[in-house]
Amino acid sequence: MQFKDQLDFIKQHMKRNKLRVATTILAAMMGCAFLIILASVGFGMQQTVTDQVLDNQIVTEIEVAGREDGDSITDQEVEAMHQIAHVKAVTDRTSPNADAVAKIGDRSGFVAAATVDMEQEQKAGLKLSEGKMPSSANEVIIGYHFAQNLLTEEERKKVDDGEEVSGGFAGSLIGQTFQLELTPYEGETEAGVWEFTVAGIKEEPGKDWISDNTLLIDDSWAPVFQEELALEESGRQVLVYADDLQNVADITQTLKDKGYYVYSVTEELGSMNMFFTALKAGLIVVGTVAVLIASIGIFNTMTMAVTERTREIGVMKAIGAKPKLIQKLFLMESAAIGIIGTVLAVLVSYGVSILANWLVPKIIMSSLGEDGEGMGDVSILISVIPWQLVVISAIISIGVAMISGWRPARKATQIDVIQALRQEL
Amino acid sequence: MIEIQNLRHTFAIGKKEHERKVPVLKGVTLDVQKGEIVAILGKSGSGKSTLLHILAGFMTPESGSVLVNTKETAKMKEEEKADFRLANFGFIFQNFQLMPGLTAFENVELPLKIKGETVKKRQAKVRALLEKVGLQDVADHYPNELSGGQQQRVSIARALVTDPPILLADEPTGSLDSETEQDILMLIQSLNQSLGLTFVIITHDDEVANVAHRQYRLHDGELVKGEKRHAI
């Protein structure tokens, strides 16, 4: 029998028992949709948490916090990090052990000064909202809120009294020269003052609550500060940047093997993923129970179909249909129920998922107050249906439908032709 | 064409502990020539249907052999039997055995679908056959919209559609009135003469048996040769 004829054959039979087939499809659909929606909540939770983790940091960034043996990281070691495969950049920020105050006219403010390798910073993805990268050692990059923190004495007093002040330095700082006063935390050495010119301003931080007061100075100044202020060993922050997220895990492992304390997004996501994988597997297992319950309906429908069609099966066998063909036709019918049920389930699940993602956050927001205070800028995904979930659910649902149709199909092949032909019409 | 040798078969009747063996066929031997119509007469329960079922491969005999076109059918596997039936036999049943959900055309087409023929070939063949049995005008009718005679003609067309050399008929006119019976018997004779088809007809009706070239009577599980009615 040609495949098209087989399809026509089962289509004809399904049409003849429309109501029964439709209710069975409905049961299969509900089982599969339940499985998808339930598991999608696990995927949604993972997505929400992952987004939060990734949102708070640059995903390709690997922080080298120090050496396991307690020694400081040396320049040679930083240099060696450049040689690791798939490392795009290594930024090495050294903060002098001193209070740093920037002064321009009658305004001044504390800044987070650090000496950096400008070229590596740029490679690592340093972005400017204004200006350009420094072209000489006297030029610097400042943080987005640098100007805002430059206050007059009067304004500072108001801030200390808890009053709000607006402004800071008005106008653009690009091209402006300011004084940097460094006062060592310890020791007797007097403060040193240097002049720098602002070349660029960093872009605004992603989060509202971050105030960026950094001052990035060319690293040729590091030994100058060290020497003139007789500073203790300065704080060093080494960040390694991978060329792609998929290489972060390998680079992290390489650095660990070399004896560094390392932290990267993969470390955090790794343990998180393990938890969510277990959660999703659990939800899929629970959802599969619904599919199994629906399969009882398919089993009943197919058993009744075989019983009702005993005479027809007998005739088909009598006129030359092989038992394998009979079995195939019934298996195809149960598979068709499974496939139609699954397709409808996928559509329904996407609908429910979209609705849940739109409605539930609104309910949460309203329960937290008018403006959703307490949520910050957290975006919640209640349900996410990736294609992998659709594939897994389809395999489970169609597989279970075929398994439940297998026994009736087998029964059909074993029908005795003589007994079948004796049945009354 | 058909050689049946010393065919024996026994049915077990009753519950297992009180089982009783009833011999139905006691060494039946029969030879059917190509193009011959052979009628097997017998009362109800004489074993004539059992003989036809064994010949068709619907059941396996206890002993003996059935050779159709020199092939032993009794020892074939189910799948082989199905293929063999499709290629060698056409069936005409007493109660027609048409598919209620299929039209006359689709019922006749069914064996060709099972065989895997293309739509084009199928349609030409089915149309020609429906014309041959005089049913071209009711091709789109469902079985319950046809008279008994028309249904049996559909059944005959279905039996012929795969061009089988042998037609097995089990009480072909058993559900028909005498007028329609004559039409069907004439159709069988005409098909035998025009296409040279071999017929094995199981019947209890002497009138039906009269169309046969040879008649046999099954009595107490034994085949008794009847008179030779006429030459092929």
Determine phi and psi for A205, rounding to 5 degrees.
Answer: -65, 150
Is residue A353 domain-shared with residue A298, that is, in the same domain? yes
Range of the domain at B190: 35-61+77-228
Quick check: is B121 in a domain? yes
| Together in a domain, A299 and A405 | yes
pLDDT value of residue A398: 92
Which residues does chain A have within 8 Å of residue B162's beta carbon, measured at their own beta carbons?
320
Q: Which residue has the higher pLDDT, B229 or A241?
A: A241
- DSSP state, A233? P
Chain A residue with the nearest C-alpha to that of B99: A312
Q: ipTM score of the complex? A: 0.89
Shared domain check, A205 and A121: yes
> Mean pLDDT, to the nearest integer, of B176-193?
83
A221 CB-contact burial (10 Å; exposed 0-12 / middle 13-18 / buried 19+): buried
Rg (CA), chain A: 35
B56-89 exposure pattern, b = at least 16 Cβ within 10 A, e = fewer: bbbeebeebebebeeeebbebeeeebbebbbebb
Judged by phi (left if over 0) then psi (alpha if -120 to 50, else beta), residue A66 lies in left
B84 falls within a domain: yes
| Closest CA–CA distance from residue B92 to any residue of chain A (Å) | 10
Residues A184 and A295 occupy one common structural domain:
no
Residue A313 maps to a domain: yes
Interface of B with A (CB under 8 A): 53, 56, 58-59, 78-79, 82-83, 85-87, 91, 93, 95, 97, 99-102, 110-111, 113-116, 118, 158, 162
Q: In whole angstroms, give the CA distance from residue B79 to residue B99.
A: 22
Residue B3 covered by a domain: no
Neighbours of A129 (CB within 10 A): 10
Chunked mean pLDDT (size 10), chain A, 425 residues:
88 87 91 91 85 71 84 85 89 87 89 90 87 91 89 83 76 88 81 90 81 90 84 79 83 89 79 84 87 86 87 90 91 92 94 90 76 58 88 91 90 88 71
Q: pLDDT at position A29, please?
A: 92
B7 — pLDDT class (breaks 50, 70, 90): confident
Q: Is residue A81 part of a domain?
A: no
Mean pLDDT, chain B, rounded, equals: 86
Distance in Å, alpha carbon of B230 to nearest chain A alpha carbon? 31
Note the pLDDT of residue A289.
87
Contacts of B97 in chain A (CB under 8 A): 311, 314-315, 318, 421
Q: Which CATH number fits the domain that encloses residue B122?
A: 3.40.50.300
Query: Contact B171/B202 with Cβ under 8 angstroms?
Result: yes
Question: pLDDT value at position A307?
Answer: 87
Last residue of a domain, one of A205, A234, A263: A234
B31 within 8 A of B2, measured Cβ to Cβ: yes
CA-closest candidate to residue B67, choices B41, B38, B32: B32
Answer for the pair A41, A283: CB distance below 8 angstroms, yes or no: yes
Please give the Cα distance from B157 to A68 (Å, whole number).
91
Same domain, A298 and A161: no
Residue B30 pLDDT > 70: yes
Predicted local confidence at residue A64, as pLDDT:
87
Q: Give me the residues of A, 286-325, that contact B with CB < 8 A.
A: 311-312, 314-325
- CA gap A196, A190 in Å, rounded: 19
Would you state the pLDDT for residue B231?
54
Domain final residue pick, A186, A209, A234 = A234
Chain A residues whose CB is inside 8 A of the B113 CB are 1-2, 5, 9
| Residue A392 lies inside a defined structural domain of this protein | yes
Domain count, chain A: 2
Q: Is residue B48 part of a domain?
A: yes
Question: Is residue A425 less than 8 Å (CB to CB) from chain B?
Answer: yes
Total of domains in chain B? 1
Percent of chain A with pLDDT over 70: 95
Give the span between the Cα atoms of B213 and B200, in whole angstroms: 10
Contacts of B111 in chain A (CB under 8 A): 319-320
Residue B228 reports pLDDT greater than 80: no
Q: Which residue has the higher pLDDT, B114 or B19?
A: B114
Residue B224, pLDDT score:
83
Q: Rg of the Cα trace of chain B?
A: 18
The pLDDT, as a whole number, for residue B191 is 84
A322 to B115: CB separation less than 8 angstroms, yes or no:
no
- By the 10 Å C-beta count (0-12 exposed, 13-18 middle, 19+ buried), B141 is classed as middle
Distance from CA of A306 to the nearest CA of B (A): 15
Q: Is residue A155 part of a domain?
A: yes
Mean pLDDT, residues B61-90 taken together:
88
Res A162: pLDDT:
77
- The β-bridge partners of A87 are A242
φ/ψ region of A83 (left if φ > 0, alpha if ψ in -120 to 50, else beta) reads: alpha
Q: Residue A68's pLDDT is what?
A: 83
pLDDT at residue A353, as a whole number: 92
Q: Are residues A47 and A122 in the same domain?
A: no
Domain that holds residue A223: 93-234
Q: Tell me, yes or no, whether A21 and A159 share the same domain.
A: no
> What is residue A325's predicted lDDT score, i.e. its pLDDT?
92
What is the average pLDDT across B129-155? 89
Give percent above pLDDT 90 in chain B.
17
Domain closes at, from A216, A234, A252 = A234
- B116 → closest Cβ in A1, A12, A323: A1
